Structure 1
Amino acid sequence: MSGEGDQFMPKTILEYNTVSLDEKNSALVIVDQTQLPGRIEMLSLTEVEDIWEAIYLLKVRGAPAIGVAAAIGVYVAVKNAEVSDMQVFYEKFRKAKDYLATSRPTAVNLFWALDRMDSVVKEHMDSEIDEVKELLRLEAVNIRSEDIEVCRRIGENALTLVKPGDGLLTHCNAGQLATVKYGTATAPMYLGQEKGYGFHIYVDETRPLLQGARLTAFELQEAGLDVTLICDNMSGAVMKKGLIDAVFVGCDRVAANGDTANKIGTSVVAAVARHYGVPFYVCAPTSTIDISLSGGDKIPIEERPPEEITEMWYEKRMAPKGVKVYNPCFDVTDHELITGIVTEYGVVQAPYEVSIKNLVQRPDPQGLPPQNPLHK
């Protein structure tokens, strides 16, 4: 914020960096998303244990943001390591990397980013330690910068799938708070707003963590979009009334056959959309594609504490004590229910085994312009 008299004006959430590196203090800086929307609090983390906890407790969340946080986090963990032997340095790095990898099991970006950082060290084992530290810093910064460009391109590709004035529905938070900028599923919404598309956005509250209500509705409203919050079991009602022209969701992992894992309830939205003939799109950076898994049944699904359902959001406990609780954080949407997967390189469609394989084996990934096989 700048200008005379406005130095005390509060920022909107979009003016804060979801995740960044404080190079002066060698710290990972994040928005504490557990405090939103009531309070905007920034956390500066320098200890690997605190970074692990921030990822595990969803203070930083969303597959792309988790990947960026992990990359910065593992750099911060070894930045001040005072060792002179490269092998000892690598052991310290691997210890921090392996530890951070245990924080969340489903989002493949976590492991993708940590593996990229690991490759930097392994490829420079004959270099000076200070040089390797600098290369790690540059890689973490690059991963963060790449996320902005990837999300922008996803937004541009997704925008070709809709028209001005459309009603769009999204589930959970695949917004700027889940990335560095733009988001994935919200990227076409933000870019559409810049072009004056006048979208009408419907946001599922998304149990059990209410990330749609607390985060997506919050950030889209702060950006000035037309936002309506609905309960999870209302998606069929708004589709039946003809209020929804397309569904855009994010995801944490894409299997080789096109099955996708996203926040619990996504598969229900997909099934309802299929029933009412509403196109259902998954917005997925290629970093979320895991071709080592043949199908969604192989994707590890994180389970969260029962208290997130029984008492977390209530003044008094809402469920009877002792009742059994099943609280998976994600579910898998079968590829048959997905109209298209929007990536930074274009929109892929069925047969996904073929289109995803061609995508990940593209000969010149950085040179390919965004392509959209659904709208030639």
Structure 2
Amino acid sequence: MSGPNTQYDPVEVTPLQPAEIDAARDAALAAIAAAGDLEELKQVRLAHAGDRSPLALANREIGALPPQARKEAGQRVGQARGAVNQALAARQTVLEAEHEERMLVEETVDVTLPVDREPVGARHPLTTGAELIADIFVAMGWEIAEGPVMEAEWLNFDALNLGPDHPARTMQDTFWVAPADSGVVLRTQTSPVQARSMLTRTPPIYVACPGRVFRTDEYDATHSPVFHQVEGLAIDEGLTMAHLKGTLDHLVSSLFGEGISTRFRPSYFPFTEPSAEMDMICFVCGGSALNAEGTDACRTCRGEGWIELGGCGVVNPRVLIACGVDPERYTGFAFGFGIDRMLMFRSGIDDLRAFWEGDVRFTTAFGSEL
């Protein structure tokens, strides 16, 4: 018996039956429509349009058909695959647009927000300290006066009753601007600002003078050739040491807290008479370290119970005369404290050099606020 005539007898191939191709196409279209994101659509593409997909396998079986049946089967499979590819492309466009919109919402950068890529710094504690002290005096009705750091010798010494033979004029304490006989120095205190205030203002005068000063000191934990002072000058009718005491008591209580006792110790300064050194009771131990054994009883006052702040006194009449103020009518008081020293006490800083080393950790800890 002869075999089948493959040129004319049809060969049954199940994957190429119309119902099978339609089912594969419909399944692919349903999966494409159900894909919720690009990753899911990628898996659908592999399953329904990849090399191992039902339609791809059906396309390979076309060669098993008789020649006259291949055209119809090829058209049927091609139309199904074309419909799947078109659906994939359309769904790809939709999902890409949704993905981009979602990215714009979720990954939006607000360019108006502050930039935090660089660490935020802090104002230097000497700056904030000087401003705090200035605010205290402004609140009392005083003015803030400033002057140049390069000062005339007359204003720095002579006007303040420091004679030509005074030890402070020597190179041991003073930076002289070359040449040595120029008569110009880097101011050794902010007192020249007081002299300038008396020369340019008419009493009553109430000025506070914060600023940098320069002396030829060694650079160590407690000394620096550059440091900061705040000096005050009050010139009016009838001012006494009592007014000075009240003013300084208010300054101390504003800086270190209410209830801080102060005392005057007799001293000598050429520009004041009488003169005193002002001490305040230790704000940490309250003076109790005086009765303790050893000098380590209190780290702040080192067992002394009192902390020295600076010098003060009634303005010497010679200074008033030199600056054009009538000493028969007006009296005044003056004082000078180290800002660096007060901040060291207030913040527990042991080494003066910490102010100048530029360590951002120090500035952040003590410079943000007081």
Alignment TM-score, normalising by the size of structure 1: 0.25
* TM-score, length of structure 2 as denominator length: 0.25
